[in-house]
Amino acid sequence: MLRLAGHILDPLQEDRQPSDGERMNAIRNARQELKRLTGADHGYDLKAWSDCLLAGDFGYDHSYAWRGVKQAIEQATHDADRERLLMMLADEERRQTR
């Protein structure tokens, strides 16, 4: 879910700002992994994916990290920069289907 929110989970790169392309790849790949895991497709909708994972037995709300993940997802839901990346992804996907 953090990658779907646009986070890069690479400790070797935590000292630098990821590029738009890196964040878009993280978002795209996270969606594909979630689709494989759940059999569902909620696009890039963080709330829908979060609700889906909470309704299933995926360990999404495990107490070890849940508070931090929940906060990051809530923040990303209102992140204008993530919205900009999603618009770029949508444009990219439209061009690929032509």
Domain boundary assignment for the chain:
11-97
Predicted confidence (pLDDT) per residue in 18-64, tens digit = 899 999 999 999 999 999 999 999 999 999 999 999 998 887 887 77
Q: Give me the pLDDT at residue 9, please.
A: 83
What distance in Å separates the CA atoms of residue 32 and residue 27, rounded to the nearest whole number? Answer: 9
Mean pLDDT of the chain: 91
Position 92 pLDDT exceeds 80: yes
- 3-state class of 57 per DSSP? coil
Task: Tokens for 47, please give them.
Answer: 């709330």
What pTM does this model have? 0.87
Q: Give me the pLDDT at residue 62, please.
A: 79
What distance in Å separates the CA atoms of residue 77 and residue 74, rounded to the nearest whole number? Answer: 5
- Residue 13: pLDDT band (50, 70, 90) is low
What distance in Å separates the CA atoms of residue 70 and residue 31, rounded to the nearest whole number? Answer: 17
What distance in Å separates the CA atoms of residue 9 and residue 29, rounded to the nearest whole number? Answer: 12
